Amino acid sequence: MTSPAQEIVPRDLRFGILENADRAWFGGDLMMSAIVDGFAVMLPEGERFFIRSLKHYAGEIKDPEILEGIRGYAIQEAFHTREHESYNAALRALGYDVDAMEEGPRKLLDSIKDPYVRLLATCAIEQLTYSLARFILKRPELIDRAAPAYRRLWRWHAVEEMEHSSVALRVLYAAPTRLSAWQRYSARIGVLNVAFIALPRFALRNAAMMLRAAGMRMGLRDRLRLAWQLFVRPGFLSALAIPYLVYLRPNYLGGGGADAGLLASGRRSLQDDPPPTAAPA
């Protein structure tokens, strides 16, 4: 039976990012905003990829709990895709070249043809988004600085990423394959390494494009400040270390019960800070 910490609750919420587009939404800090936006711009392509990857195996899995997880996951990710499409529309309205930023990740995902490798990629990228979710929920004072529409969206996104963090991995372990246990583990870690190198690189490239478009010259002082934000405070990239390491465990199934307290506090914060509009039930 699914524990409360793993319960998947699709929330059909709207946040009005396009109507409140802001280059410096993260407490007036253009650089921190660009770092997060550089990652966010890739999400619609990734979320569509994830849904297709998991649904491919739905007909081959008999476990009703896993199938229910796939259904809840797909609904959550469909809502995420809709809201992040609006987010990207806001980035376009701010003058950013979203099409150029999406091109690299799209080509990388489109190049993966084997269904099992697509599933491996989904698990690896979901671990990266889970890392961002933990980062947001563990530092409520940080996200509290954000403009209201952005704060609500990222809090919502983080809670739901935590809720479905184990779904893709459970599908992976249930999916039919001729690989041995050692080959499955090696493939899982190999794809993880690719994802944890390629996606942060894409995100940083996107952030640099945004900062240039916003008129930042990126001299030595700016580069040092960027490195500080990435690795020290708040530490966007250093926050990836622990989720990367725990993924190396054989038969790793996501945060689960270990994240129960963090997820509960995130749900309370989300409930106390509702978006201005919500779709009717």
pLDDT value of residue 3:
42
pLDDT value of residue 4:
43
Report if residue 44 sits inside a domain: yes
pLDDT value of residue 255:
82
pLDDT value of residue 256:
73
Q: What are phi and psi of 278, to 5 degrees?
A: -135, 140
Report if residue 68 sits inside a domain: yes
Report if residue 187 sits inside a domain: yes
pLDDT value of residue 1:
34
* Helix H or strand E encompassing 46: helix 43-55
| Range 156-166 burial, b when 16+ CB lie within 10 A, else e | bbbbbbbbbbb
Compute CA distances 48 → 24, 32, 70, 154, 186, whole Å.
28, 26, 14, 19, 26
Q: What is the Cα gyration radius of the chain?
A: 18
Report if residue 11 sits inside a domain: no
Report if residue 140 sits inside a domain: yes
Count of domains in the chain?
Answer: 1
Report if residue 280 sits inside a domain: no
Q: Which domain holds residue 231?
A: 18-274
Please provide the distance, in angstroms rounded to a whole number, between the alpha carbons at the two ends of the chain: 26
Q: Judge if pTM exceeds 0.75.
A: yes
| Range 169-181 burial, b when 16+ CB lie within 10 A, else e | bbbbeebeeeeee
Question: What is the Cα–Cα distance from 129 to 243, expressed in whole angstroms?
Answer: 10
Q: Which two structure tokens, joined as six digits, stand for 206?
A: 């996107």
Mean pLDDT by 10 residues, the chain (281 residues): 64 96 98 98 98 97 96 98 98 98 97 98 97 95 96 97 96 97 98 98 98 95 97 97 96 86 95 66 40
